[in-house]
Amino acid sequence: MNQPFRSRRSFLRTTVTLAAASPFVGGLVHAQGDEDSPPLIAYVGTFSSPLQDVLPTQVDLPPGNGRGIHLFRVDRTTGQLSAIGTQRMGTSPSCLAVNEAGTRLYSANETDRVGAAKEGSVSTFSIDRSSGELTPMGTVRSGGAGPTYISLHPSGRFLLVANYFGGSVAVLPVAADGQLGEPVDVKQDAGTIGPTQATNSPPGSFAISGHDRTHAHMIQSDPSGRYVLHCDLGLDKIFIWRFDDQTGTLTANDPPSISLPPGDGPRHFHFHPEGRWFYSIQEEGSTIVLFDYDSDAGRLTERQTISTLPAEFVGSNFCSEILVSADGRFVYAGNRLHDSVGIFSVGQTGELSYVGEEWTRGNYPRSFSFDPSGRFFYCLNQRADNIAIFEVNRQTGALDFTGHYAAVGNPSHMVFLDLAVQ
């Protein structure tokens, strides 16, 4: 774990219709796994093509290699993943969330259309607390096309949805039994679309993606639950909403949004554990922007912009995920096409310093996750159809490849459930 950072180059040198027409017919497909108990389970959402034996109705999706939600048992010592089953779905469950009790899993099904409905959907599953197995409970509309991100409000009573292709965000109520209701609030993004050429893109970049219309890409509450923030890639804005945790309604804050540089495309964000700092990653600009966050007023104040890439990089790159380590010492940024994870140290006042990069051992890293212990880092290489597993050096932030992969078609998002925790 005291190895220096290794770049890819140095490495190579040295070595639904809704619930009624359920997309879940066929249920969990089992595979052999280790029988130790209680296990740590990983759920992996994927881009999955319609499965004619599972979802014969029409959906609007590009081809996908996934088979739905893939389940793995996690070796707590090595971080290795062992496949234990698949909840078969043909609606691209590309983002997942587990409730605090560990009894329900939710999936955003990233479709533009299911049957006649010009919307995506969100599904609910009950979790068997002895095995991690999923059982479908129901599916509701997402409030817009192409839901790409979901998160649970800290109250546990609402699920927040960002509809990428619909350019909208929605709030779904969570019933006492964990099932989702129809949206109680939907907000449609509006404004001036940014330019196709990013202000801060690397020299020679042709990274042009979402500046054709509004594209809500992520939504999450602040740590207090009083405010909800969401970013729209096409508008180059982060919106801030006051949240009523009794009714689930969103009210525009004052000011209602903050703008990023034209064309840079804010994609994801992550709060520092202290709650005072907020980091936004820009898909086309290949930058991280640090904001100070005023939790009383729900306001963001920009303070630093730093590239996610090494200084000498030229050409096209699309950023993806951003995560802050649980101890708040490091920030990790995903680079697609460059196929690296940029690693940054966090200074005493939140500023970032570029420390190094790690090759993802695959291409087009869509997202990554820490296991609950923070010891292992899982990189989901969407176009390589694999998950690469790294060990985290807590002192330097470095990622040391373990030599372990897991095969998953077009992996998109990963969440964990520790069945030892009641």
The per-residue b/e assignment along 63-84, b for 16 or more CB within 10 angstroms, e otherwise, is: ebebbbbbbbbbbbeebbbbbb
95 and 52, same structural domain? yes
Q: What whole-number distance in Å separates Cα of residue 367 and Cα of residue 332?
A: 11
Q: Strand 104-109 and strand 93-98: pairing?
A: antiparallel
Helix runs in 274-339, H state only: none
Q: Which residue, among 30, 25, 43, 23, has the nearest Cα to 408 in the 3D structure? A: 43
Cis geometry, peptide bond prior to residue 38 (ω within 30 degrees of 0): yes
215 and 169, same structural domain? no
Q: Which amino acid is at 56?
A: P
Neighbours of 353 (CB within 10 A): 11
Q: Across-strand partners of 223? A: none
Q: Across-strand partners of 237? A: 232, 259
Q: Which residue, among 131, 129, 130, 45, has the nearest Cα to 89 in the 3D structure? A: 45
Residue reference for tokens 């936004």: 280
Q: What whole-number distance in Å separates Cα of residue 11 and Cα of residue 5?
A: 10
Domain count, the chain: 2
Residue reference for tokens 């993606």: 209
In a domain, 390, yes or no: no
310 and 264, same structural domain? yes
Which sign, positive or negative, has the C-alpha torsion 48, 51, 56, 62?
positive
Q: What whole-number distance in Å separates Cα of residue 262 and Cα of residue 270?
A: 21
List the strands of the sheet with 376-381, edge to edge.
Answer: 365-370, 376-381, 386-392, 399-407
Neighbours of 243 (CB within 10 A): 27
Q: How do residues 210-254 score in pLDDT, each as one tens digit?
A: 899 999 999 999 999 999 999 999 999 999 999 999 999 999 999
122 and 206, same structural domain? no
Domain, as residue range, for 329? 189-359
CATH number at residue 323: 2.130.10.10
Compute φ and ψ for 21, nearest 5 degrees. -105, 65
Compute φ and ψ for 289, nearest 5 degrees. -115, 130
343 and 277, same structural domain? yes
194 and 149, same structural domain? no
Take residue 246 and report the two structure tokens written for it.
């009794």
Within 8 A by CB and 6+ apart from 349, the residues are none
Q: How do residues 250-286 score in pLDDT, each as one tens digit?
A: 999 999 999 999 999 999 999 999 999 999 999 999 9
Q: Which amino acid is at 306?
A: I
Q: How do residues 138-165 score in pLDDT, each as one tens digit?
A: 999 999 999 999 999 999 999 999 999 9
Question: What confidence score (pLDDT) does residue 60 get?
Answer: 62
Q: What whole-number distance in Å separates Cα of residue 157 and Cα of residue 153?
A: 7
Answering whether pTM is above 0.85, one says yes
Burial class (CB in 10 A: 0-12, 13-18, 19+), 151: buried
Question: What confidence score (pLDDT) does residue 52 get?
Answer: 53
Cis geometry, peptide bond prior to residue 255 (ω within 30 degrees of 0): yes
Q: How do residues 125-137 score in pLDDT, each as one tens digit?
A: 999 999 999 999 9
What integer best gives the mean pLDDT of the chain? 90
Residue 11: pLDDT over 60: no
333 and 319, same structural domain? yes
133 and 254, same structural domain? no
List C-alpha distances in Å: 245 to 12, 106, 268: 52, 20, 23
The 8-class DSSP code of residue 45 comes to E
Question: What region, left, alpha or beta, does residue 93 occupy, with left being phi > 0 and alpha being psi -120 to 50 degrees?
Answer: beta
In a domain, 87, yes or no: yes
Question: What confidence score (pLDDT) does residue 36 get?
Answer: 55
132 and 63, same structural domain? yes
In a domain, 404, yes or no: no
Residue 1: pLDDT over 50: no
In a domain, 393, yes or no: no
Residue 13: pLDDT over 80: no
321 and 218, same structural domain? yes
Q: How many CA atoms lie within 13 A of 186 on its CB side?
A: 14
In a domain, 26, yes or no: yes
Q: What whole-number distance in Å separates Cα of residue 171 and Cα of residue 111?
A: 18
Q: What whole-number distance in Å separates Cα of residue 97 and Cα of residue 21?
A: 23
Instruction: From 343, 359, 375, give the residue that closes a domain.
Output: 359
Compute φ and ψ for 367, nearest 5 degrees. -155, 175
Q: Across-strand partners of 291? A: 278, 302
Question: What confidence score (pLDDT) does residue 113 get?
Answer: 75
